[in-house]
């Protein structure tokens, strides 16, 4: 099992599960404090990778120059992007912080995880000017998907797959060599499955979604797991 993008919970339930079951994962850090904490939590687990970036929701609070040392240290920059749906941060501020991080990532040849909510077309046009390897996180828009396909992006399937017809349509269209899988963290799992946080069974929900994905892609479950591992390894190169 691979979790290509997730956020850790404060009580460390997810990190304990990842370690116990040796699940390869990319763990997001969007503050200096989170980066420092997650570095300690993952230091003896080489199958866990950190990503770091100024999230669009934080782009009016986290200063680029303050975060720059972390952006230079991290292997993966993200999640970064723009959002017109879940935040009131002005879009001009979001775009300025986003493009500064894109420029750095492109110059340092560091792959990027994208957050595109409500700004799918805009972001697809922006990243054309910053050649790089991109992972589009939990894409759930019924438009502009082919823009990202043309840019040879990777895509994660989010935890809403079984309930969201748009996610199902996109999952069918993603090329086999560009598909990845994510939980986005325990809170996102609870939201996507309409469950209380206390009732989240991470392993069962992830396996159920993976089996659903294997049916959508007409590939056996075991072959899907091998495929996701190969794609994840290629994404991290």
User: What pTM was estimated for this model as a whole?
Assistant: 0.96
Q: In the predicted model, is pLDDT for residue 10 greater than 90?
A: no
pLDDT attached to residue 142 = 86
Q: Quick one: what percent of the chain has pLDDT higher than 70?
A: 100
Long-range CB contacts for residues 224-228, cutoff 8 Å, separation at least 24: 225/1, 225/2, 227/176, 227/179, 228/2, 228/179, 228/180, 228/181
Least Cα distance to 138 among 78, 92, 196 occurs for 78
Tell me the C-alpha to C-alpha distance, in Å, between residue 118 and each of 78, 87, 196: 17, 10, 27
The single-letter DSSP state of residue 178 is: G
If pLDDT is split at 50, 70 and 90, which confidence band does 175 have? very high
Mean pLDDT in residue range 42-70: 97
Do the beta carbons of residue 182 and residue 3 sit within 8 Å? yes
pLDDT attached to residue 149 = 94
Do the beta carbons of residue 100 and residue 71 sit within 8 Å? no
Q: Domain 2-236 belongs to what topology?
A: TIM Barrel (3.20.20)
Compute CA 176 distance to the chain's CA centroid, rounded to the nearest angstrom: 18
Residue-wise pLDDT tens digits, 181-228: 999 999 999 999 999 888 889 999 999 999 999 999 999 999 999 999
Collapsed DSSP state (helix, strand, coil) of residue 157: strand
Distance CA 140, CA 118 (A): 10
């Amino acid at each position: 099992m691979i979790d290509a993008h997730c956020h850790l919970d404060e009580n460390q339930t997810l990190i304990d599960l990842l370690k116990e079951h040796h699940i390869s994962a990319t763990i997001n850090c969007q503050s200096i404090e989170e980066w420092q904490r997650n570095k300690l939590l993952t230091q003896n687990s080489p199958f866990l990778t950190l990503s770091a970036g100024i999230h669009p929701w934080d782009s009016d609070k986290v200063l680029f120059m303050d975060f720059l040392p972390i952006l230079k240290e991290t292997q993966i920059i993200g999640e970064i992007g723009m959002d017109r749906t879940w935040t009131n941060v002005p879009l001009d501020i979001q775009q300025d912080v986003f493009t500064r991080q894109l420029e750095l990532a492109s110059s340092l040849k560091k792959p990027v995880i994208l957050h595109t909510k409500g700004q799918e077309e805009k972001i697809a046009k922006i990243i054309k000017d910053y050649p790089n390897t991109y992972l589009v996180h939990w894409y759930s828009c019924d438009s502009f998907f082919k823009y990202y396909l043309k840019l040879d992006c990777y895509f994660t399937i989010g935890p809403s797959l079984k309930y969201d017809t748009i996610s199902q349509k996109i999952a069918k269209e993603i090329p086999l060599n560009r598909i990845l899988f994510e939980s986005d963290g325990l809170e996102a799992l609870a939201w996507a499955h309409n469950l209380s946080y206390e009732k989240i069974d991470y392993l069962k929900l992830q396996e159920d979604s993976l089996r659903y994905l294997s049916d959508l892609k007409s590939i056996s479950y075991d072959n899907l797991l091998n495929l996701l591992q190969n794609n994840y390894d290629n994404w991290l190169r």
